[in-house]
Every structure is written in structure tokens, then in C-alpha cells.
Amino acid sequence: MKIELIYNKEKYLKNPDKIDTLFKIGNNILGGIVKVEEGKIEGDDCNLYGFFQDILIGIAYLLSFGKSDKYMSISKEEIKEIAKIYGFPIKNIDMAYTSSLSFPFNKYIFEFNKNSDEMIIYYYNDMYIYDNHLGKKGIIKIPMKEFVKNIIKLAEDYINFIKKHNNIWKEYEINFLEDRLRDAKKYYKERYGEEL
């Protein structure tokens, strides 16, 4: 299942704090503005640095079975609360994490099913507009290996891009993101025995 993060790189150079971004997994739009009646799909404000920071921290946390938690700032109680509000049927709170992925009004819970080796993504996209309703929720299951490989590739592309334009983020910020990328790759190798 293809994972896409679509944004205009030239516009990003002018305002890296937020950029219209479309986040898709397969045909599912998890982040972005969708106006069904008008047939419009466009990006929603997103801080891409925050997106990659959160998703890489979450991957390392889940692949390490909770050992890599020094950067996790979300408690299990918060995950339970979000699951309750949005009706997400989380099975194993110990193998879940949550983030907005730096989309201001969206909610995501990522749950790792170790037995089936699947990432289960529960999402609420606040800017999905249909039948005069605002917001859409859904559940996507994707093999964990496939999910991680896709995200690692997107993260590497993003990091290479911001390094090329070193006036976007400070060196220590880039180093922090590279460290989170290394963590995700390390725990991927530990679980699957192969390098990314």
C-alpha cells in the first residue's frame, strides 16, 4: 500500500513552519482538506519537521516494544481518552502511540499488532467535508515492514532536502531528526534482521 506525503517544496522553503500537505495511504486521505461535494482535494497545514519527528519516535517505540520511550510524551491515559472520544477500538494500549502528526486538528493512534505484524492506524481527519459533515474517521491495516520502509524513505528524502537547504532548520534540529531516523532503522533491523 503506497504511503504519500505531498507538498510543494518551493513553498516549503518560504515557510517551513507549516505547509499545505496531503497525507495518503492507498486511497485513504489521512491528512488534507477534502470537499467531497465539490470534488476538491488539497493540502492542510502541517509542520513537516514535527510530522517526521513524531512518526519516527513512534516507530522506534513500537518496534522496540516500548523500550525506546525517552522521547515519548504521551501517556497511556491520553491514548485511552482519544480512543474513547473517537470510538477507536484499541486492543493493546501498551503497543500504541498517538500524535496529531502536526496536522492541527487531526488525531491518529498507531497500534502495532505483533502477532500479525501489522500496523493498525486509527485516524480522524478533521478537514474531510461531506454531506455537510466535518471530519472523517477510519482504520487502516498495513504490514509493519511495509509501513516502516515507506516512512523511512519519505523521512530520508525530507532530511536530505532540508540539509541541502540548510537555512530551514538549525543543525541541532537536523541532527535530532537524523538520530530518530537511526533509532527507527536500528529497531527495524533488530526485529526483521535486515538493514534499511
Give the model confidence (pLDDT) of 29-83 as tens digits. 999 998 888 888 999 999 999 999 999 999 999 999 877 766 666 688 999 999 9
Residue 178 has pLDDT above 90, yes or no: yes
Mean pLDDT of the chain: 91
The 10 Å Cβ neighbour count of residue 170 is 10
Percentage of the chain lying above the pLDDT 70 cut: 96
Helix/strand/coil for 126: strand
What is the per-residue pLDDT across 102-122, written as a single tens digit (0 to 9) for each?
999 999 999 999 999 999 999
Mean pLDDT in residue range 78-95:
93
Mean pLDDT in residue range 166-177:
86
Mean pLDDT in residue range 76-101:
93
- Between CA 67 and CA 74, with CA 70 as vertex, the angle to 5 degrees is 95
- The whole-number pLDDT of residue 72 equals 66
- The whole-number pLDDT of residue 193 equals 94
Say how far apart CA 175 and CA 64 lie, in whole Å. Answer: 21
- The whole-number pLDDT of residue 168 equals 79
Residue 28 has pLDDT above 90, yes or no: yes
Q: Which three cell numbers stand for residue 54?
A: 513524531
Mean pLDDT in residue range 137-160:
96
